[in-house]
Amino acid sequence: MVMALYSVPVLILKEGTQRTAGRDALRANIMAARALAEVLKTSLGPRGLDKMLVDSFGDITVTNDGATIVKEMEVQHPAAKLLVEVAKAQDAEVGDGTTSAVVFAGALLEKAEELLEQNIHPTTIIEGYTKAMKEAIRILEEIAIKVDPMDRGMMRKIVDTAIASKYIGKGAIGEKLANMAIDAALTVAEKRPDGTYNFKIDDVKIEKKKGGSTADTQLVYGIVLDKEVVHPGMPKRVENAKIALIDAPLEVEKPEITAKININSPDLIKSFLDEESKLLKEMVDKIAGTGANVVICQKGIDEVAQHFLAKKGILAVRRVKRSDMEKLEKATGGKIVSSIRDLKPEDLGYAELVEERRVGNDKMVFIEGCKNPKAVTILVRGANDMVLDEVERSLKDALNVLRNIMRVPKILPGGGAPEVELALRLREFAAKIGGKEQLAIEAFATALEEIPMILAETAGQDPLEVLMKLRQLHSEGKISAGIDVINGKVVEDMTKINVVEPLIVKTNIIKSATEAATTILKIDDIISATPLKKEEKEKGRGAGVGPGGKFGGF
């Protein structure tokens, strides 16, 4: 970039740096974001189609989950990356509605582009979009239906809607998975003093094991460890298990300083080894003395210690992940102990059964029959990795919507009903605002109608015809009128056909999509540094320079 100042050229940016400014920068960003939204459009709703993604290693992912698609796509354009972040944030916050968020953000940008061509300033559009977003959230709160979050029937409707778009969400398998997710949520949810429920998704462990069919997936009221019993002489089944959870190695500690031992007779070797065995035996005696008959260890277990544990008839598992140890603490009611010396009988957890079983080609340890398990495991089975991953994503979606309804026990009708209602009311709101902002609010309303139109399209209907019919029903005061995508028809009350979704998901979609669209509209200059050459990259790594040079590469 060269600026002529008093006829003297001034070089500001590094040679080779690219700069796009003004409307060109805006159009380039909008085009990139819309292109990403266009990819996701066909995946929306129960009739949405799947995408096959092949990464640089040749690994294949087949899914219609918005967050997974954008993560696996390896998007390069910086503006499109903003939409990827929207999908990730939506997934992290509410775990559902990722496709809708990206598609809606794309629609907002498409309508904004039309306004820009009418010479409306980006700031005016941003103001209008922000006002429309606030009003939309207020309307959603007003039309939401309050429900009992622990009503199993209501939970089932919400889960069915959430997993209807997944290919395993239909038929007997979908029914089984939905019931499993509900049982898991009801088991681990804890009531708060204010009457709401606290449900942490981390308390439901999803363990995948290839082999068998999806119908073999089971819910275990306890924890399943992808480990095997450490010693062949140990029992493989322990009933009425008293479980010691140890976060310390059952090994002789090595000195922190480097030490040498000079041995000049065979007796000294023997006494040295005997002393090691004695220390390990004392550790095992201490554990056995508390009444423990199962040991779950986060660190290693020495072979000699394994032998002593086997002689005492104690089942032991080693190198268990910290996250699994914490789940075991919740499930068995035990306490993780960092020093064997501190282990007391009251620190032990309880389970009716601890057993090593063969699952597929591997052995796994099942800890089940806990008295009040506040952590459970869903053991997913399937013919291949693609099926396993898709079942896991479906279960996570189901668990997320259950958590959402416990956090905010309010629902909305599905099938595009809230979007059409919002569009209708926002147009009335726009008329009161007036000025150029009115055009932005109307554009926001039109963008909202993109969702029901896509749903109609995936159901094989004429989108415009469906939209006109929905507008008519909503103008008659039928708030819950939407599209029954499965049967391809317009329904006057979506709640009657059990298509409902949590309020928190819808408000989050509107917030995150609007914020992404306004962020992109604020950008009027793109300055991208030249990618570093290979030699410079190597040099820069040593000096701590990032791969994008001075400005960070695009």
Residues with catalytic roles: 65, 98-99, 397
Beta bridge partners of 349: 243
Report the C-alpha gap between 338 and 132 in whole angstroms.
55
Tokens of 63: 């899914």
Strand, coil or helix: 437:
helix
Q: Distances in Å between the alpha carbon of 504 and those of 96, 150, 342, 404?
A: 10, 17, 45, 7
Beta-strand relationship, 204-210 and 500-502: unpaired
Tokens of 269: 């070797």
Tokens of 16: 């080779």
Report the C-alpha gap between 420 and 479 in whole angstroms.
9
Which residue from 329, 326, 304, 330 is spatially nearest to 316, judged by alpha carbons? 304
Strand, coil or helix: 293:
coil
Which residue from 485, 426, 429 is spatially nearest to 161, judged by alpha carbons? 485
Report the C-alpha gap between 242 and 107 in whole angstroms.
58
Which residue from 473, 339, 350, 352 is spatially nearest to 413, judged by alpha carbons? 473
Beta-strand relationship, 204-210 and 197-198: unpaired
Q: Say if CB 480 and CB 495 are below 8 A apart.
A: yes
Tokens of 136: 């939309």
Report the C-alpha gap between 290 and 335 in whole angstroms.
13
Longest dimension (CA), the chain: 100
Residue 535 CB contacts under 8 Å (≥ 6 apart), including other chains: none
φ, ψ dihedrals at 41, nearest 5° = -50, -50
